[in-house]
Structure 1
Amino acid sequence: MKYEHVERKMPGSLREVIIRQPWCAAFSTTNSTLGEVLTSPAHIRELSSELTWDERRTLRLVMSTFGCQPFTKERLEKEAVLQMAGAQISLGLWGLRRYGVIVAFRKSWGDQLLMLPEDAFAVWQQVLFPISINPFKGSESQLEPLSSGEIGEYVGGIEEEESRQINPRGLAQQLFLFMVSCSRQPALPLTNKGTLHKKLIHKLTEHVSLPKRIITMSGLTYAFTDVYNEPAALMLELALQMGFVYKNEWGNGFLIHHRNFEAWLQGTYEQQQLQLYHIWRQALIPAPVWLEHGIAFMERCTSQQWYSLNELTQAILACCSISRKTMDETSLQEDLLMVWMKPLSSFRFIELAQEQGEDLWFKWLINPQRIEDANLDFEREPSRKNKSTATLYVQPDFEVLLPPDASLYLEWRIAMFSDLVNSDIVRTYRLTKESFQRALDHGLKSAEVIQLLQDNAYYEIPEQVIITLEQWEEQKDKLYMQEVTLLRCQSVEVAEALIRNEKCRMLLGERIGDSHFIISREHVKDVTKCLEAMGFHPNQIANMSVEKDDVFPSLSQPAAGLCYSRDTIQLYEIDPYLPQPEEHYPDIQQIPASWIKELRDYHASTRKDMIRKAIEWKSVLQLRKEGRDCFIIPRMLREDRTGWILEGWEEYQEIAWASEDWNEMKLILPGINDGGVREKEETLGEL
C-alpha cells in the first residue's frame, strides 16, 4: 500500500498529528500530501536525524525482517528478542507511527497490523542501509548474453518448455499482438463462469510466446487456472489493468476500449515497457523482504550498464542479516533469478550475461529511475501532428518489413490490412487479398492504404503492389454483411406503440414484417433506454461495443484483474489511536522509585520482584557483575529446589545467572531512564 492509499483511509486527526510536527511543518504546505513529504529523499534525510535511538533501530529491524509486508508487534518483538527489549520496540513503533513512517491498521476482530508504506521503502533503504553496487568496469566483450534456456540452467526445476524462445522485443510487443487478435474477433463472449471460451483463448494467444509458468514462478496466483494457462492469464491481466478491455453492461462479454489502447500506442516503446513493468512490479508488492531490497537496489542502477549479480546478492544479505538469521547465498541467488530476474528477462526489461563462464551480470533495458513516466497521460486520440518518417519497407512479394525503430502505432495501422508473418526484432507482415478485404470491410480505402505505405516507406512502393490493391478494391463484392440488432415485438400493437413514441420512432430502423425492427449498432443503447422509459424491459442478446466514457486509467487505481492481490492490508481500517509513552508501564507509581533511580543491592525476594516486573513490562535490567555493568533482556525467572535462575540475553548471548552472580541492579524503562543503555549500545555500533 502506498501513502496515497493510506491518506485516503487516514482520519483527519491522525494526519494533523503528523503534519503539525516541527520537522514536517518546515516542508509541508497547505496542499502537501503525506506521500510528497514522507517519500522525498531530502525530507527523509531530515526526518532520519530526528529519530531516537529506539525508533531508528526499530525501523531498521522492520526493514530487515518484514520490508513492506504487514506485521504484528508481537512478531517484531520475537524477531528482536536478542537485540531489543519489548518496551524498546513499543517505544520505537510509537514514535514511528507518530511521524507517519509506520501505519497501524485494525482488523475487524481487534488485532493490530503494522506496515511501512511501499513507496517509502527505497528512500529509507538508502538512508539506513547506505550500500551501493558498482557497474562493470571491464570490456563488454567479456560478457556473453544468456538465452532464456541458459538462464534456466542456473535455476533448478525449470522444465525444458519453460526455456522456449520468447519475443525478442519484450512484453509490450506481446501485449500488442494479443490486442490485435482481440480486435479481429467479431465478439469476446464470456461463459457463465465468467471466462473466455477455450477456443477463443487459443486464437487470442496465437502469437504470444512466454514461459508457461511465467506467473507462478514469481509466487503469484490467479483466478480460473483451469481455463487460462499462464501466458494467456498474463495477457488478459495486463489488458484489464491497462483498461484496454472491460466487461460489457451485462457481464457476458469483453469489449475493447479503443481510445485507451490507441492512447497507449502514442507513447515511445520505452514508455510502453515502463508501464507494463510498473504493473508487473506492483503485482509482486509487498514482496518477501529479500526481494524488496533486491528491487530497490536494482532500481537505483543506471540503465544500459552491467552490474554483478553476486554483488547484488551480497547487498541483500547485508540488509537482511540484522535479524541474525542465516541466509544461504546460493539459495538466495537462485530465488532472485527464478522469482524476479527470469521474468524480467523474458519481458525484455533486463538482459542477463555471463562473464567467462562464471559470474552472472544484469543490465536494465528500460530506465527504472523514470518509473514515474509509467503514469504519463498519453493523448486520447492518435496524433497526426508529426510528419511521417521512413520506417518500413514494402517488398514486391507484398511483404511489409518493420525495423526495430518502427512504432507500435504504425504497426497497429499496418496490422489493419495485413497479416503477421514473423514478430522478431524486424516484424514482417504480408498483404493478402483476404487481409485487404478485412480492411475494406471496416471502411478503409485502397487510396488510404497506399498513402500510408508511401508516407512511411524508405523506397518507392513497387508498382504491382499499388495496381493489385486498386484491383482488389474494384473487385470487392457489392453485397456486404452488416452487424445489426433485431428488435422483436410480441405483437403488432406493441410495434405500433413504439412508432407512436416520437423519441423511440427516431431510433427505429427498417421495419421487418408487422412486429420487428432492425436497430443499427450505434442506436442499441439509446433504444434500450427509451424502451425502459416506456415500461418495457427487452431481453438483451446483442453484444454491444459502445465504449465507456471513462478516461485512461491511473496505474495507482488498477482495474480488477485475474491475479490475486498481495496487498491484503487494504481491507482494514487505519487504527487512529496512539498510546502515550507512560501507558507502556501501567501502575508505574506502585513500584519503589529507587528501582529505576540507582544501582543498589537488593534482597533476593526484591530481586525476583524486579525481574518479574521487567518481564511484565518487557523492559531491561542493569546488573553490576564483577565491576562491569551488564544490560540484560530478561526472558524468564526459573525456580527449583536449589534456588532460582535469571534467563535472558546480553549482547546477543544467552545467559542463565543465579542471584549471587551479580551485586547491584536497576530496572531500566525505555523512554524514562534508558540513557545508560543507549550509551552502551552506541559504543557497540548500530545493528
Structure 2
Amino acid sequence: MKYEHVERKMPISLKESIVRQPWCSALRTSGESLEEILTLPTHLAELYLHLSSDEKRTLRLVLSTFGCLPFTGERLEKEAVLQMSGAQVSLGLWGLRRYGVIVAFRKSWGEQLYTLPEDAFAGWQSLVFPAVRLTEQSNVDVLSDLSDHMADMDEGVPSNPRGLAQQLFHCMVNCSRQSELSLTSKGTLHKKQLQKITEHVSLPARIVTQSGLTYAFTDVYDEPAALMLELGMRMGFLYKNEAGNRFLFHHRHFKRWIQSSYEHQQAQLYRIWRQALIPAPVWLEHGIAFMERATVLQWYSLSELLQAVRSCYSIGHKPMDEETLRQELMTAWIRPLSTFRFVELAENQEGQLWFRWLITPMLRSGELSDSLNELAVRTDPSLYVQPDFEVLLPPNASLRLEWGVAAFADLQNTDLVRTYRLTKESFQRALDHGLRSSDVIQVLRDHAYYEIPEQVIITLQQWEEQKDKLYLTDVTLLRCQTNEVAEALLRNEKCRNLLGERMGETNFIISRAHIKHLTKCLEAMGFHPNQSAIPNFLSDEEPEIPLWNEPQLGLCYSKDTIQLYEIDPYLPRREDLYPDMKQIPMSWIKELRDYHASTRKDMIRKAIEWKSVLQLRKEGRDCFIIPRMLREDRTGWILEGWEEYEEVAWTSEDWKEMKLILPGINDGSVREKEETLGEL
C-alpha cells in the first residue's frame, strides 16, 4: 500500500497530529504533501534524526523481518524477543505510528495490523542499512550471453528479443482488428478469439505463478494469455462495455502509449509488473530496492546482490542459505525481468552471474508523463520495402511506426527485425478503415531507407481502383413520420449538416460518425428518436480511463489485502503501556537496591507482565535482562530470560541490587548501553 492511498483513508485527526509535529510542519509550510514528506529520501533522513533508539531498532526489525507485509504486534514482539523487550517494541511502534512511518489498520473483528507503506521502503532501507551497497563494475571479464541458456530453463521458450512491450503491442494490434471481443456468460474470451489475439505471444508457461501471483479463470486462460490481458487492462487499452459482455479497445490510450520511446514503454510495463508483486516476501523487497538503485547499463554481480539481501533480512530470521535464496530470487524476480528484457543477464569466465538494467526501472511520475510527448513526428529512415512486398522494420523502428505499418500489412516474423507483408487482403483492410493508397505510399516513402520498388506503388494503386468500383458500408436510416418533419430538419442549420443522402420524401441516410451529434441536435429541436432502434454507438464510446494513475482491475488478484481495512485512528498514550503504574513503589524504578526475595519475585512478575526490562547488578557489573519466566521448584526459584541475545537462568543469589526498567520512563541507562554497542 502506498502513502497516497494511506492518506486518502487516514482520519483527519490522525493526519493533523502528524503534520503538527515540528519536523513535519516546517516541510508542510514549504508546500510539500504528506506523501512526499514520508517518502522522499531527503525528508526521511531528516525524520530519522528525530527517532529514538527504540524507534530506530523497531524500524530496523520491521524492515528486516516483514518489509511491507502486514504484521501484528504479537508477531513483532516474538521476532524481537532476543534483542528487545515487549515494552521497547510497543514503545518503538507507538513512536513510529505517531510520526506516520508505520500505519495501523483494524479488521472488522478488532484485530490490529501494522504496515510500512511500500513507497518508503527503499528510502528507509538506505538509512537503516547505510553500509550495504552494490558495487558498479566497469571492468568485468569477458561476459557471455545467457539467452539460449535462459530459454532452456524457461521450458524451451525463447523470449522475444525486444521484450514485453513488443509482445503486448502485437497482442493489442490483434485485439484492435477483431470485429468484437465478446465474452462468454462466465466473463471470459472465447477460445478461438483468444488464440487469435495471442498468436505472437511467446512466454514461459508458468511466467505468472512462479513469481507468486494468482489470477482468475485459470481454467480458460494460460499464463501468457492472462499476463497479456492483465497488462492490457492495467494500461487501459482494454475495458468492458457498460453491459459487461465484451471487451472494447481504447484507441486513444494505446496511441498515446506508442508515442513515447521504447524504453519508456518498457518502463511503464515494469511498473505494472513490480506493483503486482508488492507486498513481496521481505527478501524480495530488499532485492528489488537494491537493484532499483543500480545504474542503467552497468554490470552488477548477482552474488553481491545476494549477500546484500541476506545482510538485511537475517535479523529476526533464520537466514536463508545463499543457494536457496539464489534460486528463489532467480525464479520469482530476475528470470522474468530477463524474459521481459528489463534486465540483461550474462556470466563471466569464472561462471559468475551478472546483471544490468536495460531500462530506467523507477521513473518519477513527471518523467513518465513528459515522455509521452518526447517523440515528434519523425521521418528518419527506419524500414525497408522489398520487391516481394515485404516490409522490414529494423530494431530502431518505433512502435508508433509499426502501428502505421500494421494498419496495411500482416506480421510475418517477430524477431529483432520485424517482417510484415503487404497483401491484397491487408491493403483492403486499410481501405476499409479510411486509408488511401496515397496514404500508405507516403508512409513507406517517409520512412524507407531506399526508393520504394515501382511495382509495389503501381500494385497498390490498382488495388485501390478495384476497391472503389464497389463497396459496402454501414449506415443508419433516419425515418421521419411526415414530409413536414423532414423539411423541418433541413431548415435547421446544425441538423442539415449532419443529414446524409435523402431517400424519398421522409428518409435520410446517416453516417455512423454523425449519430451522436445528430441525436443531440434532434433532442434540442424537441424530437426524441427511438433510442432502442439506434445502434449502441454512444455507450461504447471510449471512456476517460486515467492512464497509469489509478490502475484498472485486471485478472491478477491483488496481494495488497490490507487496503480492505480501515485505518485505526486511536493512538494510545505512552503511559498506557504500564497500567496501574502508581500502585508499585517508586523505589523500584528510581534506584538500584537490594530487596527481600519476595519483593524480588514481585518485581520480576511485574516486569514480565509489562514486558519490560530488569537491571541487575552482578559482581559489580550492570546487566540488562529481558525476563521470560519465573520458575519455582522445591529448591527455590530461578529467573529465566535473555541478556544480549544469550539465554540466562539465574537464582536469587546470583545478583545483588536490582531495578525495574520501564522503556520510555526510566530507560536512559539502557539507551546509553545500546549506543555503546552500536548498531546490531
Local SS of the residue matching 1:366: coil
Q: Cα distance, 1:636 vs. partner?
A: 1.5
Q: Structure 2 CA distance, aligned partners of 1:676 and 1:428? A: 74
How far the C-alpha of 1:512 sits from its partner, in A, is 11
How many Å separate the matches in 1 of 2:529 and 2:647? 80
* Residues 176 and 423 of structure 1, relative CA distance in 2, 3 Å threshold: same
Question: Which amino acid in structure 1 is aligned with residue 336 of structure 2?
Answer: P
Amino acid at match of 1:143: L
> Which of 544, 547, 562 is the aligned partner of 2:541?
547
Aligned counterpart in structure 1 of residue 260 of structure 2, from 267, 271, 281? 267
Task: Within 5 Å, give how 1:485-564 maps onto structure 2.
Answer: 521-522=512-513, 538=532, 546-550=540-544, 553-564=546-557
SS of residue matched to 1:28: helix
Alpha-carbon spacing, 1:499–1:516, altered in 2? closer, same or farther (3 Å)? closer
Distance 1:77 1:539, change over 3 A: farther
Query: Does the CA-based 8 Å contact 1:422-1:428 persist in structure 2?
Result: yes
Residue in structure 1 matched with residue 6 of structure 2 by the alignment: 6
Normalising by the residue count of structure 2, what TM-score does the alignment of the two structures yield? 0.92
**Aligned equivalents of 1:523 and 1:662: distance in 2?**
94
Per the alignment, residue 636 of structure 1 pairs with: 629
Q: Does 1:166 align with 2:167?
A: no
From 225, 230, 241, the equivalent of 1:232 is 225
Give, in angstroms, the shift of residue 137 of structure 1.
3.9
Match of 2:208 among 190, 205, 215: 215
Name the CA distance, whole Å, in 2 between partners of 1:462 and 1:360: 48
The one-letter code matched in structure 2 to 1:222 is Y
Equivalent in the alignment of 1:106:
106
Query: Which residue of the partner structure matches residue 598 of structure 2?
Result: 605
Give 1:16's aligned residue: 16
Asked if 1:43 is matched to 2:43, the reply is yes
Q: Unaligned regions of 5+ residues in structure 1, if any?
A: none
Superposed CA offset, 1:384-421 (max 9, x none): x5451111111111111111111100000000000111
2:652 is the alignment partner of 1:656: no
Distance 1:189 1:482 in 2: 22
Say whether the 8 Å CA contact 1:274–1:371 is kept in structure 2.
no
Query: In the alignment, residue 442 of structure 1 is paired with which amino acid?
Result: H
What residue is the counterpart of 2:443 in the other structure? 452
What is the TM-score when the length of structure 1 is the normalising length?
A: 0.91
CA gap 1:328/1:364 in 2 versus in 1, 3 angstroms: same
Q: Is the alpha carbon distance of 1:220 and 1:541 closer, same or farther for their aligned partners in structure 2, counting shifts above 3 Å? A: farther
Separation of aligned partners in 1, 2:423 and 2:301 = 49
Q: Secondary structure at the match of 2:559?
A: coil
Q: Contact conserved, 1:599 with 1:664, CA < 8 A, in 2?
A: yes
- Offset at residue 498 of structure 1 (A): 11
Greater mean alpha carbon deviation, residues 655-664 or residues 571-580: 655-664
Q: Are residues 517 and 206 of structure 1, via their aligned partners in 2, closer, same or farther at CA, if it must alter by over 3 Å?
A: farther
Matches within 5 A, 1:147-546: 147=147, 149-150=149-150, 153=153, 160=155, 163-356=156-349, 358-372=351-365, 375-376=368-369, 386-476=377-467, 478-483=469-474, 521-522=512-513, 538=532, 546=540
Relative to structure 1, the CA distance from residue 4 to residue 438 in structure 2 (aligned partners, 3 Å threshold; closer, same or farther) is same
**Which residue identity lines up with residue 452 of structure 1 in the other structure?**
V
On the 8 A contact 2:65/2:317 being kept in 1, the answer is: no
Counterpart CA distance in 2 for 1:69 and 1:112 is 14
Aligned partner of residue 435 in structure 1, secondary structure: helix
Q: Distance in 2 between matches of 1:151 and 1:439?
A: 37
Query: Which region of structure 1 is more displaced relative to structure 2, 255-264 or 361-370?
Result: 361-370
Contact 2:271-2:362 within 8 A present in 1 as well: no
Q: Does the 8 A contact of 1:181 with 1:204 survive in 2?
A: yes
Aligned equivalents of 2:529, 2:653: Cα separation in 1: 93
> What is the deviation of 1:38?
1.5
Shift of the alpha carbon at 1:379? 5.4
* Structure 1 letter corresponding to 2:471: Y
User: Partners in 1 of 2:196 and 2:13 — Cα distance?
Assistant: 55
Measured in 1, the distance between the counterparts of 2:486 and 2:628 equals: 87
- The CA distance in 2 between the partners of 1:117 and 1:25, in whole Å, is 21
Q: Determine if contact 1:166/1:346 at 8 Å carries over to the other structure.
A: yes
Letter in 2 for 1:335: E
Distance 2:278 2:572 in 1: 30
Mapped pair 1:133 → 2:138: no
Distance 1:497 1:610 in 2: 102
User: 1:90 maps to which residue?
Assistant: 90
Q: Which amino acid aligns with 1:25?
A: S
> Which residue identity lines up with residue 334 of structure 1 in the other structure?
Q
How far apart are 1:683 and its partner, in Å? 2.1
Distance in structure 1 (CA, Å) of the matches to 2:570 and 2:274 = 33
Q: In structure 2, which of residues 565, 570, 582 is the aligned counterpart of residue 572 of structure 1?
A: 565
Distance of aligned partners of 1:616 and 1:534 in 2 relative to their CA distance in 1, 3 Å threshold: farther
AA matched with 1:538: S
RMSD, aligned α-carbons: 3.0
Sort the Cα spacing of 1:392 and 1:623 in 2 relative to 1 into closer, same or farther, 3 A.
same
1:667 is aligned with what amino acid? L
Q: Contact between 2:181 and 2:189, CA under 8 Å: does it hold in 1?
A: yes
Partner of 1:79: 79
Is residue 71 of structure 2 the alignment partner of residue 64 of structure 1?
no
Task: Provide the rounded CA distance (Å) in 2 between the counterparts of 1:650 and 1:528.
Answer: 81
> How far apart are 1:624 and its partner, in Å?
1.6
Asked if the contact 1:600/1:665 (under 8 Å) is kept, the reply is yes
Distance 1:497 1:90, change over 3 A: farther
| Cα drift, residue 10 of structure 1 | 1.2
CA distance 1:498–1:589, change in 2 (3 Å): farther
Q: Distance in 1 between matches of 2:484 and 2:58?
A: 75
Alpha-carbon distance, 1:642 to partner? 2.9
Q: Quote the offset at 1:370 in angstroms.
A: 3.1
**Which string of whole-angstrom CA distances, capped at 9 and with x for unpartnered residues, describes residues 263-309 of structure 1?**
11110011101100011111111111100000000011001011000
Matched AA of 1:590: Q
Shift of the 501–610 alpha-carbon distance from structure 1 to 2, 3 Å rule, reads farther
Which AA in structure 2 matches 1:458?
Y
Query: What SS class does the counterpart of residue 614 from structure 2 fall into?
Result: strand
Q: Assess if the C-alpha contact under 8 Å between 1:626 and 1:662 holds in 2.
A: yes
- Match for residue 116 of structure 1? 116
CA contact (8 A) 2:242 2:540 kept: no
Structure 2 residue runs without a partner (length 5+): none
Counterpart Cα distance in 2 of 1:498 and 1:76 = 78
User: What per-residue deviation string (whole Å, max 9, x for no partner) do you get for residues 131-151 of structure 1?
Assistant: 1111224345x1111125447
Q: Output the amino acid matched with 2:542.
A: K
* Distance of 2:534 and 2:585 partners within structure 1: 80
Deviation at residue 216 of structure 1 after TM alignment? 0.5
Contact 2:23 2:47 survives alignment (8 Å):
yes
Report how far residue 548 of structure 1 moved. Answer: 2.7
Once the two structures are overlaid, the 10-residue window that deviates more, 32-41 or 274-283, is 32-41
Give how far 1:672 is off: 0.8
**Which amino acid is the alignment partner of residue 136 of structure 2?**
P
Between 223-232 and 651-660, report the one with greater CA deviation: 651-660
SS in 2 for 1:292: helix
Please say which of residues 612-621 and 634-643 is displaced more in the overlay. Answer: 634-643
Q: Which amino acid aligns with 1:23?
A: W
Count of aligned pairs: 672
Instruction: Name the CA distance, whole Å, in 2 between partners of 1:133 and 1:151.
Output: 27
Shift of the 30–137 alpha-carbon distance from structure 1 to 2, 3 Å rule, reads closer
Distance 2:562 2:178 in 1: 39
Deviation at 1:612, TM superposition (A): 1.1
